[in-house]
């Protein structure tokens, strides 16, 4: 068994693509059109085999989508939290939870939200025992 991807629905394709490619440095690996119903964008970090699939349904439900209570967050690693924080600020985004140390010796982590409100955890590369 091989893990392939996680799919999330997005309401504004351009904003979401901008966020995932500019803020998180993901690259579009492929796209797929589903008979005029939806467009799928698969994003990769180029290092692992798993992807995030952004699904844009051409007919959004009235009131948009709602987040379930089961999904928690995506997690991404950064080599340097300070540099990532500066980049985030320069791109006009803010943390929902500012960087902090998870334990006295553990990594620094922070949280932000993508344009649809999905939580993104940023983990500074330090202590491999954390994850």
Interatomic CA distance for residues 100 and 109, integer angstroms: 6
What 3 state SS string does 14-79 have?
HHHHHHHHHHCCCEEEEEEEECCCEEEEEEECCCCCCEEEEEEECCCCCCCCCCCCCCCCEEEEEC
Sequence-ordered list of residues with C-beta below 8 angstroms from that of 60, at least 6 positions apart, any chain: 11
pTM, 2 dp = 0.87
Full set of structural domains in the chain with CATH: 1-58 (3.10.180.10), 73-131 (3.10.180.10)
Annotated catalytic residue within 22, 33, 77, 121: 121
* Predicted confidence pLDDT, tens digits, the chain (131 residues): 888 999 999 999 999 999 999 999 999 999 999 988 999 999 999 988 889 999 999 988 888 788 887 888 999 999 999 999 999 999 999 999 999 998 887 789 999 999 999 999 999 987 555 55
- Is 98 a known active-site residue? no
């Amino acid at each position: 068994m091989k893990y392939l991807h996680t799919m999330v629905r997005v309401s504004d394709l351009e904003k979401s693509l901008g966020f995932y490619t500019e803020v998180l440095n993901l690259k579009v690996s492929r796209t797929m059109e589903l008979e005029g119903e939806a467009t799928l964008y698969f994003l990769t970090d180029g290092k692992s085999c798993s992807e995030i699939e952004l699904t844009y349904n051409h007919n959004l439900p009235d009131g948009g989508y709602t987040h379930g209570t089961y999904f928690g967050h995506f997690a991404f690693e950064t080599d340097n939290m300070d540099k990532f924080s500066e980049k985030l600020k320069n791109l006009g985004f803010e943390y929902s939870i500012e960087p902090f140390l998870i334990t006295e010796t553990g990594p620094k982590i922070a949280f932000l939200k993508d344009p649809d409100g999905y939580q993104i955890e940023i983990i500074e590369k330090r202590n491999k025992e954390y994850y």
